[in-house]
Amino acid sequence: MSADPDVMRYFPGLLDRTATEALVKRIRAGFDQRGFGLWAVELPGEAPFLGYVGLAVPAFETHFTPCVEIGWRLAAAHWRKGYATEAAAAVLDAAFGPLGLREVVSFTVPHNTPSRMVMEKLGMVRDPAEDFEHPRLAEGHPLRRHVLYRIGAKGWLRRRSGAAGG
Ligand SMILES: CC(C)(COP(=O)(O)OP(=O)(O)OC[C@H]1O[C@@H](n2cnc3c(N)ncnc32)[C@H](O)[C@@H]1OP(=O)(O)O)[C@@H](O)C(=O)NCCC(=O)NCCS
């Protein structure tokens, strides 16, 4: 998945097997440390691994850190079937339920429409005043500019209770 140029077109590079194994190790360590992380997405009976959707703590510093981020990456064969949105809603239920978080953010490059659509479908809100330059990318890098979306526990729980009530 992370070696597919289509999947990685909004990231600065592809991951080879060694880099992916290191990522999985970091994800596992994060689960041990925090009790949350990037969950594997499974389609029961059909596909054991579609990709991941979950929570992470960005290691860089900028105006909105420290924070908890929601993120997603699915193999291209599984795009546009609603899986990212469905899995992300389950992640926010966990974030604002058992995990007791107050706010979750998400960010991407402005032209990553699929990812922004997932954020917007979840009810996450962007304030253009919070757009930022990704501190891990050099000045002038074409992917440096990012948009930031936020959602708070109250907003999510209100949305969920509204949905349950029809
Ligand atoms: C972002 C990503 C996870 C979305 O996964 P997905 O399962 O296809 O998303 P969904 O099916 O839940 O779609 C959510 C909405 O986005 C829309 N959408 C998805 N791909 C789209 C595209 N290429 N162009 C326009 N809209 C798109 C869907 O139509 C849907 O809206 P709708 O229900 O109103 O039709 C997937 O495209 C991906 O893995 N991309 C590569 C990795 C990546 O960029 N991750 C994000 C980094 S910030």
| pLDDT tens per residue across span 100-124 | 999 999 999 999 999 999 999 999 9
Please report, for the domain that includes residue 150, its CATH number. Answer: 3.40.630.30
> What's the domain range around 117?
17-164
Q: For the chain, how many structural domains are there in total?
A: 1
Of 23, 115, 116, 122, best ligand 1 pocket probe by most atoms within 8 Å of the beta carbon: 115
pLDDT of residue 162: 86
Any domain includes 37: yes
Answer whether residue 10 shows pLDDT above 70. yes
pLDDT of residue 53: 98
Any domain includes 60: yes
pLDDT of residue 164: 59
**Whole-number Cα distances in Å, 22 to 27, 34, 89, 158:** 9, 18, 27, 38
Q: How far is the CA of 56 from the centre of ligand 1 (A)?
A: 19
DSSP string, 86-103: HHHHHHHHHHHTTT--SE
For ligand 1, whether the C-beta of 117 sits within 6 Å is: yes
> Which amino acid type is present at position 15?
L
For ligand 1, whether the C-beta of 109 sits within 6 Å is: no
Q: How far is the CA of 159 from the centre of ligand 1 (A)?
A: 21
Any domain includes 12: no
Q: pLDDT per residue over 48-106, tens digit each? A: 999 999 999 999 999 999 999 999 999 999 999 999 999 999 999 999 999 999 999 99
Q: How far is the CA of 151 from the centre of ligand 1 (A)?
A: 18
Any domain includes 129: yes
Any domain includes 7: no
Any domain includes 105: yes
| CB atoms inside a 10 Å sphere around CB 73 | 19
Any domain includes 65: yes
Q: Which two tokens stand for residue 102?
A: 């107050």
Q: Which of 3, 24, 30, 23 is nearest to 14 (CA)?
A: 3
Place 22 in a pLDDT band, splitting at 50, 70 and 90: very high
Any domain includes 10: no
